Structure 1
Amino acid sequence: MPGINQIKQPIAAEIDAFELKFKDSMHSDAPLLNRITHYIVKRKGKQMRPMFVFFAAKLCGGIIESTHRGAALVELLHTATLVHDDVVDNAYERRGFFSINALWKNKIAVLVGDYLLAKGLLLSVNNSEFALLKIVSTAVQQMSEGELLQIEKVRRMDISEELYFEVIRQKTASLIASCCACGAASAGADEETIEKMRLFGEKVGIAFQIKDDTFDFGTDDVGKPLGIDIKEKKVTLPLIYALNKAEKPERKRIINLVKNHNDDPKKIQEVIDFVNSKNGVHYANQKMLEYQQEAFDILYQFEESDARTGLEQLVRYTTERKK
């Protein structure tokens, strides 16, 4: 499987130009804000969300200035939600670096998130990008609803497989769906094509999250600490499947461990061993591959091109990664 830099090669120039424009879009007259946004930009990840936007646009007509605004809008609103999430979760690290709230405290972090959100709204309104604004705002609404739904159910450890898929569809998949829909819309695609790309992104997002959830129960160093979801009392697909395969006494015992002993490394390992003994990770991987294939089925409705190849490689990268 090619690396991320090799995958982005057909749109490398657009990504480089986007990074400069995105940095400019965060500029403020307040020195403190500039210091913080500079810190955020320096620690950006692999730029996978903008890549989905640009590849989708290229697939559906071509990359234009509107595509750059769509990519910036997605990144601004997503970054705002991440800054706010770290405050909500009391998290002091993100991708191995200190979070904004860890360095500048909660009050400033919340205000920075608000600022990024406002910047995204203004970028859209000032350029009359109302269709893109509607797509991304809908995704942010779904992300918030998915988070609240998860919090509500986690308290009671009351989550079915059906509910799990609804939570990750809203929390994770809606954002990748909005990237693909924004790319298509920015290129002037019709409503049917925009919806097709949105659905493609949703399938990819669900597959991505399932894959991420399996790392909690792995045995190798995958870059994500083992048992982190258990510590946060998150009920993910491998655990749901294992619980459904267990007899009532064992099921009750494991739920008790997750609810009441989730800070004990030995108890966490016990839950991990239980899930693996019931083939929970194998089941989740099979489900992930089903969603991956559904995404490919949509993608292959488009003519073969370097944009289609780029999206196919990006899907494989997000769903077949080792960490």
Structure 2
Amino acid sequence: MKITEQIKQPIAHEMELFEKKFYEAMSSKVALLNRITFYIVKRKGKQMRPMFVFLTAKMISGGTINERSYRGASVIELIHTATLVHDDVVDDSNRRRGFFSLNALWKNKIAVLVGDFLLSKGLLLSIDYGDFDLLRIISVAVREMSEGELLQIEKARRLDITEDIYYEIIRQKTATLIAACCSLGAASVNPESEDVEKMRRFGELIGMAFQIKDDLFDYTEDSIGKPTGIDIKEQKMTLPLIYVLNNCTKQEKSWLINSVKNHNKDKKRVKEVIAFVKNKGGLTYAEQKMGEYREEALQILSTYPASEYKDALSLMVNYVIERKI
């Protein structure tokens, strides 16, 4: 059994029910909108976000969840989908997970409007049922994701990112959404308890490890045995590179910065950068940091009693670090 199937097993029933509820939450009187939302549902990914919501809720409640848990999962999925649709427009991207993006099929104007529609649907779903605590958690996440993206754009122009700024960017851009899922799960079954903050931190730690793992993919072999170097080509500052920039000679530093800024399309030069980062211990350092986040996340889990939901969350922590894609 694939590890993702194993993680999903204790909440298989909830995930099935969630899909129906999520599709209902997206419905509209406008035929064009329904056609587009049907397309969105059809191309769904691994659905990690609702999985986090349900596993956290069930671990904390001892196995029962309520309508608030389903609404929380639907709201986060609606709002997350809205941000993805808008991202594709911002990045002028034509594909997402092997499917055409909405803007590629229906043009930017429609894609932006669909994103707005999904966002308002998410907000209304919370307001209609008075789930203001859940709405606050999600709204903070959306604000932080936008700030993280803008902070990255601001810093990337100068390639002067310190390790602390890098952590702040990935905390906002990537970790804040997983943190919101886990705190949502806790808040849906045990509002205003210390579990809400504990699980927020747990999700944040997983998100940090997840992003560092993504950074490492740039330096590891792809399916045809070649390091990808995509981040270098896009001038993205990742942890292995930041570490090496801060731990090499002045001469090496200016060569690195010059390579990333001015020679990022030169395959031979990108290969040299990858080799240099590896030799200077950049990957080892990033792996060590990722391991620290994993340990702290597992430490939080260890404070909860044994259950299949806790086991699934432990699997999820390890999956994030050991995944191959």
The TM-score with structure 2 as length reference comes to 0.96
Structure 1 33/291 Cα, relative in aligned 2: closer, same or farther at 3 Å? Answer: same
- In structure 2, what is the equivalent of residue 320 of structure 1? 322
Specify every segment of 5 or more residues in structure 1 that has no aligned partner in the other structure, as ranges. Answer: none
SS in 2 for 1:56: helix
Q: What pairs up with 1:190-229 in 2 under 5 angstroms?
A: 190-221=192-223, 226-229=228-231
Q: Displacement of 1:316 after TM fit?
A: 1.1
2:277, 2:161 → 1: CA distance? 16
| AA aligned opposite 2:210 | F
Q: Displacement of 1:222 after TM fit?
A: 9.0
CA-to-aligned-CA distance 1:155-184 (integer Å, 9 cap, x gap): 111101111001100111000000000000
1:198, 1:167 → 2: CA distance? 17
Give the aligned CA root-mean-square deviation in angstroms: 1.7
CA-to-aligned-CA distance 1:185-234 (integer Å, 9 cap, x gap): 10124431100010111111101111111101112329998122122211
1:39, 1:209 → 2: CA distance? 28
- In structure 2, what is the equivalent of residue 287 of structure 1? 289
Q: Displacement of 1:23 after TM fit?
A: 1.1
Moved over 3 A (4+): 222-225
Q: Displacement of 1:123 after TM fit?
A: 0.6
| AA aligned opposite 2:86 | H
My pick for the range that moved more, 198-207 or 219-228, is 219-228
CA-to-aligned-CA distance 1:38-59 (integer Å, 9 cap, x gap): 1111111111110000001001
My pick for the range that moved more, 213-222 or 140-149, is 213-222
2:104 pairs with 1:107: no
2:247, 2:52 → 1: CA distance? 37
The alignment-based identity, stated in percent, is: 62
Q: Give the number of aligned pairs.
A: 323
- In structure 2, what is the equivalent of residue 58 of structure 1? 58
- In structure 2, what is the equivalent of residue 9 of structure 1? 9
Q: Is the 8 A contact 1:172 1:205 kept in 2?
A: yes
Structure 1 304/80 Cα, relative in aligned 2: closer, same or farther at 3 Å? Answer: same
- In structure 2, what is the equivalent of residue 158 of structure 1? 160
1:82, 1:14 → 2: CA distance? 24
SS in 1 for 2:246: helix
Q: Is the 8 A contact 1:174 1:205 kept in 2?
A: yes
CA-to-aligned-CA distance 1:233-278 (integer Å, 9 cap, x gap): 1101011112222211121111112112222322322222221121
Q: What pairs up with 1:41-190 in 2 under 5 angstroms?
A: 41-61=41-61, 62-190=64-192
Structure 1 223/202 Cα, relative in aligned 2: closer, same or farther at 3 Å? Answer: farther
1:164, 1:224 → 2: CA distance? 26
SS in 2 for 1:60: helix
2:224, 2:155 → 1: CA distance? 28
Q: Is the 8 A contact 2:220 2:227 kept in 1?
A: no
The TM-score with structure 1 as length reference comes to 0.96
1:141, 1:128 → 2: CA distance? 21
SS in 2 for 1:245: coil
1:309, 1:83 → 2: CA distance? 33
2:284, 2:100 → 1: CA distance? 34
